[in-house]
Homo-oligomer: A and B are copies of this chain.
């Protein structure tokens, strides 16, 4: 079964927003064995929508459209669907009752004509009821293709994919199995990894496809197996994961598809019953935020002192003022004291500290733009109690912050991996 995802809205075409809906839809459909043929973004225009519907007609089995269902004039999807299906809009009474309740009951406003129009749907559409918003989903079939139109608001779209589209597809269509397995490696580049596993890759069975997903410092390898015999696929994936581990086990750090460094670190800290805190200047709390984005992080992450102002470094983290005066806030000496300071204050095994000139302007230090010091305090006795590295990540600001976070996680990971 083949599907194409179509996002309708000029805001994507002018680059004003990043399309996150498509990834969610693609992932949800992939999970149930649907092959995503294309992901497309088109403009809020009648002509462009019609042209796209015609092109996709009978090319794929399922077309998921999002966007253009709002109450305002720039939203033309519903009218255009009517035109394509030679249909007309009728009031869906259940949707109208829901919209009325939402506006009058929840928002305490009189319902307007614009609100009421949200309950209009093409008469040929099967309505996918939207419990969490005003625009319903619509399921329309023409010849060999089903067209599903969903609102573009992410949580409404997600609700309808999970509770409307996916259950209906599972019930009505036969699909093959698709199994993905991601192997996360750390510390070697894409081409070096490719050279090491060349023989292994050449011996993969036809039904397994391998993809390389490189990002700074790490490469994710993804095997995708597709076929009708789930057990066979599962077995082949397992065997090939085992044989791969024998070749590059030294750089494999995880296997979960969604596994980020913060997830891996969380697992390593939990396993070793270790705790961590951070003292963040140039990263402004981003390390803390990523660590706490993981459910269960409260068992190892105790907290952070975001010491953005120099006086917070001195007063809360107890970095000696003389050190700041002598070396400036962006220095090895200050980074080390920040890490030791927060480690002591929050009583944790490890502590990460960051201080740097993220730019675009120089701050309270004469250090070059892009200069960053990362210190890591450990539970070991001196001189192993502290590690500090200096980097220059250049510009712009966001890059400096992101690289600092990534390097800090890398330094912590290297340290914790030594325990095992």
Chain A residues with a Cβ under 8 A of chain B? 9-20, 22-28, 30, 36-44, 48, 70-75, 107, 109, 112, 114-115, 153, 155, 180, 182, 189-192, 194-195, 201, 209-214, 222, 224, 257, 278, 280, 283-289, 291-293, 295-298, 301-309, 311-312, 315-316, 345-347, 359-361, 363-364, 397-399, 401
A308 in contact with B297 given A15-B28, A42-B38, A211-B10 (CB within 8 Å): yes
B-chain residues with CB within 8 Å of residue A11 when the two chains form the complex: 211, 213, 222
Q: Choose among B15, B73, B295 the residue that contacts A26 (Cβ–Cβ < 8 A).
A: B15
Q: Are A257 and B74 in contact (CB under 8 A)?
A: no
B-chain residues with CB within 8 Å of residue A41 when the two chains form the complex: 22, 38-40
In the A-B complex, the 3 residue pairs with the smallest Cβ-Cβ separation, listed nearest first, are: A284-B292, A15-B27, A285-B285
A394 to chain B, nearest CB (A): 10
Cα of A37 to Cα of B298 in the assembled complex, Å:
47
Cα of A395 to Cα of B194 in the assembled complex, Å:
41
B-chain residues with CB within 8 Å of residue A37 when the two chains form the complex: 13, 43, 48
For A189, A284, A360, which residue has the most chain B Cβ atoms within 10 angstroms?
Answer: A284
Q: Are B13 and A36 in contact (CB under 8 A)?
A: yes
Cα of A288 to Cα of B201 in the assembled complex, Å:
45
B-chain residues with CB within 8 Å of residue A43 when the two chains form the complex: 37
B-chain residues with CB within 8 Å of residue A292 when the two chains form the complex: 284-285, 306, 308
Q: Are B23 and A18 in contact (CB under 8 A)?
A: yes
Q: Are B308 and A305 in contact (CB under 8 A)?
A: no
A214 in contact with B70 given A17-B23, A24-B15 (CB within 8 Å): yes
A102 to chain B, nearest CB (A): 11
B-chain residues with CB within 8 Å of residue A222 when the two chains form the complex: 11, 16
B-chain residues with CB within 8 Å of residue A311 when the two chains form the complex: 302, 347
Cα of A298 to Cα of B357 in the assembled complex, Å:
12
Cα of A39 to Cα of B37 in the assembled complex, Å:
14
Q: Are B40 and A13 in contact (CB under 8 A)?
A: no
